Amino acid sequence: MSDRFEVTFAPLSADPETVTALLAGEGLELGSKARELDSKSAGSVSKAAAAADFKGKYKTTIEILAPAKLGIDRLIVAGLGKDGALSAQQYVDLGGAILGAIQNRKTSTASLIVDVETSGDHSAEQIAALIGQGALLRHYNFKKYFTKKSGDDSAADKDGIKKLIVHVAHPDKAKAAFHPLKAVANGVNFARDLVNEPANVLGPVELAEKTKALEKLGVEVEILDVKAMEKLGMGSLLCVGQGSARPSRLAVMVWNGAKGSKKQKPVCFVGKGVVFDTGGISIKGAAGMEDMKGDMGGAAAVIGTMYALAERKANVNAVGLVGCVENMPSGNAVRPGDIVKSMSGQTIEVINTDAEGRLVLADVLWYAQETYKPKLVIDLATLTGAIMIALGKEYAGLFASDDKLADELLSASRSTGEKLWRMPLDKAFDKMMDSKNADVKNTGGRWGGAATAAAFLQRFVQKDVPWSHIDLAGTAMDGARNDINQSWGAGWGVRLLDRFVADHYEKSEK
């Protein structure tokens, strides 16, 4: 996580660092502090803007080296666009873009002056906090396995900034606004670490153990081992990991944050935690198989979400469950044609051992419903390549049994920029999952692979439980890079689910 980097807040009167960024609205509209610096430096900002034809358009930047009489080595001017026209997420993205501009040259500290005079929906302090979150998300990198060599001027050295000081009129208010945003960023970066970690380091046991880090935030954690899952009848989940020398686990995280109401039904998140997926006996091709260390991206999203909810003390009851397995071929591996019995009692014919994630989710979904009687269940999984054929790496696929739940998730998607596209649940897809030898089979043939996978999962969802399945195979790992994510493991889904909870399921303080 980006614990090496911190965002702090200071008053506008504080002396800026030798690397400083300013904000400029469209038409080169400057705030009071920026105007003061421009004037003191004999119009260096105005002159540089004119020379570069910089007009303050959103996310555009110019850099002024050693402006006169300021004691500043680099002055970066970042465009805000039209007055009051930006959404919260656009300010977050702007923060990432500004930090990227700062990181173009080495520095250990930098200042950002937020002296906006806006008529929009956000105060200067809220804008400062949102920009700070974007910087925190942008700063993340995963370079723990690089060994630094003498004289190496690598990218690892370029990320040397340790502190961003955001100057704003009321720093205490900005700090308070930043606290929940920092919690969400920490959850995202925690999830990124999990996805980026190689599978030889992060096995099923280790992934489950990572959830214990949430105990310090007040989350109750329980880890079920193989014997406990055998006793529960989780034959579907356990068959996936039986070919691996590393035992499977089920990690359960419980956050009882609803004030005065531990009995309030929780929202429930379920994640696929396949730490490495060879495909098993139905083995994958060698090309690109190294990316299958990220096949636990759904589990990472759930863990990161629970982290964020707990750190910001979300006023909600929530449960996160992740099934942690490794899918390996061996003399003990599940075979195509095997029939296993799930915790629900339904029998499953395994047609393809590379359709393993749904076998894990089937039992975790059932356990979640039976144990916690949730008000809704959302599962997240890097489930199918088919969803990438349909939606590329920009969108995750959303399947939902309940229109209200779907609308709430789509609203959170629009707010955060973590894009969802609703896909169909249809009886025709369900019919394709009928088996000649068991209650259900785990693949439905070549066509509509993401939709038939969702149809399989729906068989393990009780009729009165609103349920959604998010297939994030294209977005959780090696997705599209942007202003707030330059990482292979994106931590995708944490901001989406946190916003979903905040907007629709946190109990009002009133």
Strand partners, 78: 23, 61
225 and 153 share a domain? no
Instruction: Return the sign of the alpha-carbon dihedral for residues 147, 148, 152, 157.
Output: positive
List the CATH number of the domain containing 298: 3.40.630.10
Q: How many domains does the chain have?
A: 2
Q: Is residue 176 one of the residues assigned to a domain?
A: no
Side-chain half-sphere exposure of 160, counting CA atoms within 13 A: 9
Residue that terminates a domain, selected from 170, 201, 225: 170
Task: Give the pLDDT of residue 510.
Answer: 34
61 and 210 share a domain? no
328 and 191 share a domain? yes
Q: Is residue 510 one of the residues assigned to a domain?
A: no
Q: Is residue 190 one of the residues assigned to a domain?
A: yes
- Write down the residue that tokens 């959830």 correspond to: 211
393 and 428 share a domain? yes
Q: Quote the distance between the C-alpha of residue 198 and its chain's center.
A: 18
383 and 265 share a domain? yes
Q: Is residue 482 one of the residues assigned to a domain?
A: yes
Q: Is residue 278 one of the residues assigned to a domain?
A: yes
Mark the ranges of the chain whose per-residue pLDDT is less than 70: 1-3, 118-119, 149-159, 261-262, 507-510
Task: Give the pLDDT of residue 300.
Answer: 98
431 classed as catalytic: no
191 and 335 share a domain? yes
280 and 332 share a domain? yes
75 and 159 share a domain? yes
Instruction: Return the sign of the alpha-carbon dihedral for residues 178, 181, 183, 185.
Output: negative
| Residue 333 CB contacts under 8 Å (≥ 6 apart), including other chains | 242, 243, 280, 281, 353
Q: Is residue 175 one of the residues assigned to a domain?
A: no
Side-chain half-sphere exposure of 468, counting CA atoms within 13 A: 28
84 and 121 share a domain? yes
Q: Is residue 483 one of the residues assigned to a domain?
A: yes
163 and 191 share a domain? no
- For residues 114 and 170, the answer to whether their CB atoms sit within 8 Å is no
Task: Give the pLDDT of residue 331.
Answer: 97
Task: Give the pLDDT of residue 480.
Answer: 85
Q: Identify the H or E element spanning 24.
A: strand 19-25
12 and 87 share a domain? yes
Task: Give the pLDDT of residue 199.
Answer: 98
Alpha carbon distances (Å) from 375 to 122, 128, 192, 265, 284 = 33, 36, 28, 6, 38
The C-alpha R_g of the chain, in whole angstroms, comes to 25
Residue that terminates a domain, selected from 118, 142, 170: 170
What is the rounded CA–CA span in Å between residue 18 and residue 33? 16
Global confidence as pTM: 0.96
Q: Is residue 63 one of the residues assigned to a domain?
A: yes
List the CATH number of the domain containing 36: 3.40.220.10
Residue that terminates a domain, selected from 114, 140, 170: 170
> Which residue among 47, 59, 246, 284 is the active-site one?
284
Range of the domain at 79: 6-170
Task: Give the pLDDT of residue 1.
Answer: 54
Q: What one-letter code names the amino acid at 306?
A: M
> Which residue among 74, 358, 441, 495 is the active-site one?
358
347 and 426 share a domain? yes
335 classed as catalytic: no
Tokens at 342, concatenated: 């799930």
